Chain A
Amino acid sequence: MEITVRVNGVPQTRDVEPRLLLTHFLRDELRLTGTHWGCDTTNCGACVVRLDGVPVKSCTVLAVMADGASVDTVEGLAHGAELDPVQEGFVTCHGLQCGFCTPGMLMTTRALLDRDPDPSPATIREAISGQICRCTGYENIVRSVRWAAERTQAEQQSEVAP
């Protein structure tokens, strides 16, 4: 089946098997290996991308279901050399160790901050509760997201200041 998916802003047209998972479409067809895979049962969230803005587990979406949609992956998060505040937050607050859960965590928490720019630690924990990190014990992920929220707010305030 021929599908066209706008991935990180670029339309990608491919002929794919109907059973191909979106995660494999991204990883194997487009060679965007930042999106990971970690379980067979939709439990781990290593595969989270944004489908038309909404974070989804790309292991549980068929590539053909994304036909005509926009998909954003971790590779599209930074603006050139400039990191997104959540990326910078994860680096600053040691929100990652092996890095395997990180792309999924970044996509989920970026989406969280888009709808709630000032989430409480409890809200952050809730947002990432469908994702597993085996390394960090989550606390530094929560701090990373808080860091990103505060940094963004501080920047906005300095922009509106005379």
Chain B
Amino acid sequence: MTSIDDSRIPGVQDPAVQIHAEAETPRGYGSMKRKEDARFVRGRGRYVDDVVLPGMLHGAVLRSPLAHARITAVDTSAAEAHPKVHAVITGETLAGLGLAWMPTLSNDTQAVLATDKVRFQGQEVAFVVADDKYAARDALDLIDVQYEPLDPVIDARRALEAGTPVVRDDKDGQADNHIFDWESGDSAATDRVFAEAEAAPDQRVVTADILYPRVHPAPLETCGAIADMDPVTGKLTLWTTTQAPHAHRTLYALVAGLPEHKIRVVSPDIGGGFGNKVGIYPGYVCAIVASIVTGKPVKWMEDRSENLMSTSFARDYHMRGEVAVTDEGTIRAVRVDVLADHGAFNATAQPTKFPAGFFGVFTGSYDLEAAHCAVTGVYTNKASGGVAYACSFRITEAVYLVERMVDVVAHDLGMDPAELRMRNLLRPDQFPYRSATGWEYDSGDYPHTLQVALEKAGYEALRAEQADRRRRHEAGERVRLMGIGLSFFTEAVGAGPRRSMDILGLGMADGADLRVHPTGKAVLGISAQSQGQGHETTFAQIVAQELGISPDDVEVVHGDTDLTPFGLGTYGSRSTPVSGAATAVVARKVRERARIVAATMLEVAPEDLEWHDGRWQVAGDPEASRSMAEIAMAAHSNLELPEGVEGHLDATCVYNPPNLTYPCGAYVCVVDVDPGTGAVDVRRFVAVDDCGVRINPMIVEGQIHGGLADGVGMALMQGIAFDLDGNCLGGSMMDYLLPTSLECPSWELGETVTPSPHHPIGAKGIGESATVGSPPAIVNAVIDALAPYGVRHADMPLTPAAVWCAAQGRPLRTDLAIT
């Protein structure tokens, strides 16, 4: 290897040193058009379903119509007799191969195809392989499955009651529906503060029951795969919709016993992920088995109902929040109890040591004396769960809980919610701040960020307008009620430090490799997987910034495990915090290699050079300098390099984050509510985000826009409910309402910039901030609008019916359906 000593390379030893100098002279950063768009606007994207391989067959999955039933017989003979059918695979076929069950990302097991019983409506029972997709669907109707119905467990709140049927009777020693208990924070210290608050005449305890209902990420492209097992070479190529190609490769190797070097996972263009494409689904495994059995490539693409009913959902947290607070509004402690509905298989995707994800940041953006939470996970007869939905590993639930509770406190104290927040926010001089549950917040100026948002919204004028509306409403005029909602969130993203964060033993560090060709053009390989985030552009800009070349001269390769270094993929807003850091560090390695070559070219010592304006220059002599292109050519030439220097500039690195990064933001939402119909209009939405240094502000803003729309969906429309028989009531886009252009306002964005002190370029990640921060702002606004009706809390989704019931003081009917 090279004789270059890594410890001399800025960014490897002390990344912080580099930030400020470079943040002052941005080069590769700034809004620029995305490189990937040229193909997308021409209809030349290449999504999994666009791929056609010679001789390819098509698979389809037969699914259970029942939520809980024993399988007594499966007859596939008629399907097998269909002239276009090549194979029918059942749970029994898979059991023969030892593949009927697969491990989940949470160390549980999940049925690939059911053998003993079905455990949720839509569960995979058989897999048909046919000449085309129409024939495969036809053959599904020819399979006869006999079911013996069992009582389903649908209401998580009753899952642990004695006498409740046991969902997972397949597991040795599992006598009930309990999965785990997890807690965080100091329970004794928290109880002490609460006891004090209860006893003191000028303090109180504020309590509320808050549900974060089950929602589904519903990316526009559903999940699917093409498995191509080459019977001669034994190499499996899997084209698949995955946000984590490398992690999937390793898991397939472990699950199926295939040698890992004979597995190539290709994740081409992905039509949105939002967490939906982190897990491994039974259909993928069936496609692989089908390709092995038939000796041909097999494509499987799920339809929309399959996507909504069977792939991993998010949230489903039943929370009880308690806040100990003085009558003046100083929040002293927060206590939370959570019942988490994980469905039939615990397939939660999060760092393994965190069964409730990063819910531990429920202390939010406030300086608390103490905090404690306890989370209990249970099995129910619903689709497997808890994967995520742009949630940064359960931070959506945590932020929603604390930001809703702060508004409930404001309501009970009769205080303005902005003033209450301002009073309790962390101060800039408290950073780095260690929270009551042990998280080390890296940087931020919270009061400033909130102030910017309030000013941008014109908060005082809004309150004046609201007061006027309320007067008119009280006078009997037919006016829509106006609500103003705030939220202040702290995110914790960029998982994560290897010592504490892994998924099934795979540490969450990311690699990057950077090759610089003789003409100075560069190719960057990353493990992060774009699902629309624009990595081909942003990551090129990072390299460009570090090497003094144009982003157009950097090609970013991703989504193919044969071509890219190992890393854990894109979710939890980790691309820029982890792979982005790896990219900056590897580019700095290249730059240091270039320094030695430049020194040789200029006949000076490397120490005599300084990096200036994108070139290595002799200190004090601007005439004597070399560009990266000149250096790259020399590095590949017969220029005689110092003893021990190998030539070329290529480098690799693995970035192990020292900490998470902590983006934050202040959101203000204005709604108009028709008290007669319960209809909610989001009139304005002001979002001030602080994600540290912005590489491509245009892309950052696009990420925020998308997350805000998600917030509108979750707060007002989305929500997957079940009837008491376990029928999924949100199994199509007719029933599961996603926001359209008419529900979304024209977003108003602002920014503050507090660089992360430990990230090589000071960036913090932005992918999920808005999804985390917007639901509480919207719900707070609706509840605020309903103040004349004395409403203190109502659960999402705040559909017209839910809002109308809340205003009338009636419970929304939950005797027919459970959310």
Contacts and interface: CB of A to CB of B under 8 A. Distances in A.
**Chain A facing B: main interface SS:** loop
B134 A38 contact: no
A103 interface: yes
B272 interface: yes
Contact of B33 (A28, A77, A91, A132): A91
B541 to A, nearest CB: 15
**Chain B facing A: main interface SS:** loop
B746 A139 contact: yes
Contacts of A121: 746
A142 B745 CA distance: 11
B304 A39 contact: yes
A102 B40 contact: yes
Interface in A76-113: 77-78, 83, 87, 90-92, 94, 96-103, 106
B220 interface: yes
Interface residues of B, number: 57
A51 B42 CA distance: 19
A132 B220 contact: yes
Given A134-B272, A138-B741, A142-B741, A99 B702 contact: no
B658 interface: no
A33 interface: yes
A58 interface: no
Interface in B494-538: 531-534
Interface in B24-48: 33-34, 36-47
Contacts of B732: 39-41, 43
Contacts of B744: 137-139
A115 interface: no
Contacts of B421: none
B40 A125 contact: no
Nearest to A128: B741
A71 interface: no
A114 to B, nearest CB: 18
A23 B378 CA distance: 42
Interface stretch (B366-374, B475-483, B705-713): B705-713
Interface string B721-752: 00000000000111000101110101100000
A46 interface: yes
A88 B386 CA distance: 39
**Most chain-A CB neighbours within 10 Å: which of B304, B698, B707?**
B304
B32 to A, nearest CB: 10
Contacts of B451: none
B270 interface: yes
A96 B37 contact: yes
A94 B702 contact: yes
Given A75-B42, A136-B702, A142-B746, A40 B531 contact: no
**Most chain-B CB neighbours within 10 Å: which of A19, A20, A75, A97?**
A97
A33 B50 contact: yes
Given A75-B42, A142-B746, 11 more contacts: A38-B221, A44-B220, A74-B41, A91-B38, A98-B219, A99-B532, A102-B40, A130-B740, A132-B738, A138-B744, A139-B705
Interface of A: 17, 19-20, 27-28, 31-41, 43-44, 46, 73-75, 77-78, 83, 87, 90-92, 94, 96-103, 106, 121, 124-126, 128-142
18 contacts: A33-B49, A37-B49, A40-B304, A43-B732, A43-B734, A78-B42, A98-B269, A98-B272, A99-B39, A99-B40, A100-B47, A100-B219, A131-B741, A132-B738, A137-B705, A137-B708, A139-B744, A139-B747
Interface of B: 33-34, 36-47, 49-50, 52, 132, 134, 218-222, 269-272, 274, 303-305, 531-534, 698-699, 701-703, 705-710, 732-734, 738, 740-742, 744, 746-747
